[in-house]
Structure 1
């Protein structure tokens, strides 16, 4: 009988998995401070920006939640060496893409928040794609099942 965990992950698997968990935990934190409209959150934006954020449609807020919570759950599954990580990274990426669509095509966040908003959004999409690829790679290497 072959153990599906026959391939022991390398150290960098664990390093990437922990970094992924921390990265997505920061995303969840950002979502929560926005959802609870904390003073720390409000202090980051102008009154005009806060008004635009407050008037975001529910689907954009839901996409944000799916993106960050999906990524956090996926990272947890990655650490537990479960293939469900890939499915949740797909959910996360989908939420991120929908949120980026809202931020850059519905409200044009680059005009409101500056060009750094576009760069940061691009970075988030790239990291989400890399984490999805990493989970697929780990499955092929039989590091997760």
Structure 2
């Protein structure tokens, strides 16, 4: 089947979008002061106190999204699975935020960051659904 033009558009845009997540993850995990210094002391303590399992799910979210974008551009049916892993990683860490912080999550992260997290979830869900639809139409092999 001929590859639809929108696969290339969504693939490239998702790759650029997900590279932002990779940047955030690497700057945080490498504890780059010029990046981490922009956080409040409370935010820094929250990220410094991440349990190992939460870091693992964060990594799954970030690297799964990057893999999904690359696999989508390669027209691989495994793109949907990679995006699913990414969505799970994102959801687990979002649940971790609210389970550990409760209503204080709004004060800790700020409304803008929480709105961005909601956008991340919508985009991740959309990418998974898109890749799944392309696999079902046999655009992905």
> TM (normalized to structure 1)?
0.90
Runs of 5+ consecutive residues of structure 2 not aligned to the other structure: none
Q: Report whether the alignment pairs 1:66 with 2:60.
A: yes
Q: State the distance in 2 between where 1:122 and 1:105 align.
A: 16
Runs of 5+ consecutive residues of structure 1 not aligned to the other structure: 1-6
Q: State the distance in 2 between where 1:67 and 1:40 align.
A: 24
Q: Which structure has the greater CA radius of gyration? A: 1
Instruction: Kindly indicate whether the alpha-carbon contact (under 8 Å) linking 1:104 and 1:118 is maintained by their aligned counterparts in 2.
Output: no
Correspondence 1:40-59 to 2 at 5 A = 40-59=34-53
Correspondence 1:23-102 to 2 at 5 A = 23-102=17-96
Query: Of residues 123, 136, 141 in structure 2, which corresponds to 1:140?
Result: 136
Q: Report the alpha carbon displacement of residue 104 of structure 1 after superposing the two structures with TM.
A: 2.2
Q: State the distance in 2 between where 1:81 and 1:92 align.
A: 18
- The corresponding residue for 1:107 is 101
Q: State the distance in 2 between where 1:113 and 1:92 align.
A: 21
Instruction: Kindly indicate whether the alpha-carbon contact (under 8 Å) linking 2:87 and 2:124 is maintained by their aligned counterparts in 1.
Output: yes
> TM (normalized to structure 2)?
0.93
Q: State the distance in 1 between where 2:31 and 2:16 align.
A: 22
Runs of 4 or more off by more than 2 Å in structure 1? Answer: none
Q: CA RMSD of the aligned region, Å? A: 1.2
Q: Deviations over 1:81-135 (max 9, x none)?
A: 0011111111111100001111222124312121122211111111000000110
